[in-house]
Structure formats: structure tokens, C-alpha cells
Amino acid sequence: MPYYIIFCKSTKEHATVKSLKRIVKKMGIDMDFRLQEKEMVNHSKTGKVTKKYNLIPGYIFARSDQKIGVGTLAELTKANDFFYFLTYSDRSYVMRGDDEAYCSQLFDFPQIIRQKNVFIKAGEVVIVTRGAFTALKGKILKIDMKRERVDVEIMLLGKPTKITLPVDHVEETGEIAKEEKSP
């Protein structure tokens, strides 16, 4: 299966894919297009905001059931002048070798990479990676996956203090909290 890489303006990937789908349909060519995106969840005062970011800005990956001729690809490029097909130094458009293997893997994986699952458990020691308490270690008290928050007990001024943080603000250390015995 031949693979192609298309370069366009980094903010116009979705518009380019939409335009290309319309053009290839009109020309009777069967082509599949792919962007590699990562879904990020940002927390703000107004709540949780989910946004998709293109991992490889400006690049669109394409594949076709049959090899498309140079003339057809040039015709596709002329239809809209805000993108072009990448070529090798010998002016061939079809990906080969490691480039072909990369494109093949890209089409095998999901198009959108979701935020990683949480592998921390209550009772584990974590380190705070963002915010006012950065670099402090604490023990996980409770995990609320619905709200994507964790309750962490840190030592603040010699006293155990409970703070609530977004899940992505803590990182596991691999340690398990020691149970302190009451006197």
C-alpha cells in the first residue's frame, strides 16, 4: 500500500484534509488521510477544558490502495496551492524504507492519543510536579477519577496537611507510604 506525506501550513491541517477529501472524491481516487493528535485536558478556574493538539504540526499522512501517478499528484497540488506532497531527491512521492514503516504504524494506531491512564493507588508516595507545592512528596489518600483529582497528604510546617490536586500534577515515586503507629 503506497504512503504519501503532505506538508501544509501548521494551522490548516484540518482544512487541508477536508479539501483533499473533496478533491480526491471528485477525481475518483480512493485515499485515506491521517493526522496524529494528542488530547490534552487543561484545568482552569472555569473547569476542565479538553483540547486536541497536532503532534506533528504541518504534516498530513496519506495512503491509497493503488499507486498514484506523478501527474495526478501534481494535479491535486494545483487544485489548492496551500499544500504540497513531499518528495525524495529522485522526485518520487511514494514513501519507502523507514518512512514507509513509520507511515504504516501511524495508520495502525488510533488517530487521537488520549491522556495516559492513572496508575497510582491510594497509599502510594507521589511527588508534586506542578503548582505551589512542586517537589514536595506526599501520600495519596483518595483518587477521584470522575473529577480527575487526587487528595494528597503532605507535611507542611511539621503537620500533615491534605491538599487536592489534578491527577496530572502528581507523579509516582514507586515508594509505598509507611504506616505510622499511634503512641
β-sheet with 112-113: strand ranges across:
47-54, 37-44, 112-113
Q: How many CB atoms lie within 10 A of CB 35?
A: 19
Strands, DSSP E only, in the chain? 3-8, 31-34, 37-44, 47-54, 59-64, 83-85, 112-113, 124-128, 137-144, 149-156, 159-166, 170-176
For residue 181, being part of any structural domain is answered with no
What is the 8-class DSSP label of residue 10?
A: T
108 and 23 in a common domain: yes
For residue 118, being part of any structural domain is answered with no
For residue 183, being part of any structural domain is answered with no
Domain boundary (67, 90, 113) is at 113
Domain boundary (60, 87, 113) is at 113
* CATH code for position 162: 2.30.30.30
Q: Which domain holds residue 169?
A: 124-176
154 and 109 in a common domain: no
How far is it, in rounded angstroms, from Cα 61 to Cα 47?
34
Measured over the CA atoms of residue 130, residue 131, residue 136 and residue 140, the dihedral's sign is: negative
Average pLDDT for residues 161-180, to the nearest whole number? 80
Q: Of 24, 50, 48, which Cα lies nearest the Cα of 37?
A: 50
104 and 131 in a common domain: no
Q: How many CB atoms lie within 10 A of CB 73?
A: 19
135 and 79 in a common domain: no
pLDDT above 70: percentage of residues in the chain? 86
130 and 104 in a common domain: no
Query: What is the predicted pLDDT for the residue at 182?
Result: 46
Number of domains in the chain: 2
How far is it, in rounded angstroms, from Cα 48 to Cα 115?
13
**Mean pLDDT for the chain?**
83
Dump pLDDT digits (tens) for 70-91.
888 877 777 666 788 888 999 8
